[in-house]
Amino acid sequence: AQSVTQPDIHITVSEGASLELRCNYSYGATPYLFWYVQSPGQGLQLLLKYFSGDTLVQGIKGFEAEFKRSQSSFNLRKPSVHWSDAAEYFCAVVSTSGGSYIPTFGRGTSLIVHP
């Protein structure tokens, strides 16, 4: 079964600084990979996804993520963080075998942005 690890529970950055949120997955083949964001009191919203092809994926709100097969990682990055980026971020993986396509989510990383 696939699993997702987000090693950082909290990340604190200053506004304008760069950001990297880590995500590692465990799966025998190349899965589908996703990053979602959840603002307080809201549901989750998709930031970006990777299925195949170019390993650097661009998403909404200036976010990007890079798939590294050798490290089983799919880290989320942003060059300059805005105060409105403070939220909970979830990495998710979907198995590409079996046909069920049900995502498994990580525990989430809470991003705190200092002015």
User: Does the footprint of another protein cover residue 108 (CB under 8 A)?
Assistant: yes
User: Does the footprint of another protein cover residue 52 (CB under 8 A)?
Assistant: no
3-state SS string over 58-82?
A: ECHHHCEEEEEHHHCEEEEEECCCC
Within 10 angstroms of residue 36's Cβ, the number of other Cβ atoms is 21
Using CA atoms, how far apart are residues 41 and 10, in angstroms rounded to an integer?
18
SS3 11: strand
The residue written with tokens 């079996």 in the block is: 98
DSSP 8-state symbol, 85? G
CB of 36 to another protein, least distance (A): 8
From candidates 106, 109, 111, 113, binder to another protein by CB under 8 A = 106
User: Does the footprint of another protein cover residue 26 (CB under 8 A)?
Assistant: no
CB of 54 to another protein, least distance (A): 16
Is residue 107 within 8 A of residue 9, CB to CB? The reply is: yes
From candidates 90, 95, 109, 111, binder to another protein by CB under 8 A = 90
CB of 46 to another protein, least distance (A): 5
User: Does the footprint of another protein cover residue 34 (CB under 8 A)?
Assistant: yes
In whole angstroms, how large is the CA radius of gyration of the chain? 14
User: Does the footprint of another protein cover residue 11 (CB under 8 A)?
Assistant: no
Q: Which residues bind another protein (CB under 8 A)?
A: 4, 9, 32, 34, 36, 41-46, 49, 51, 90, 94, 100-108
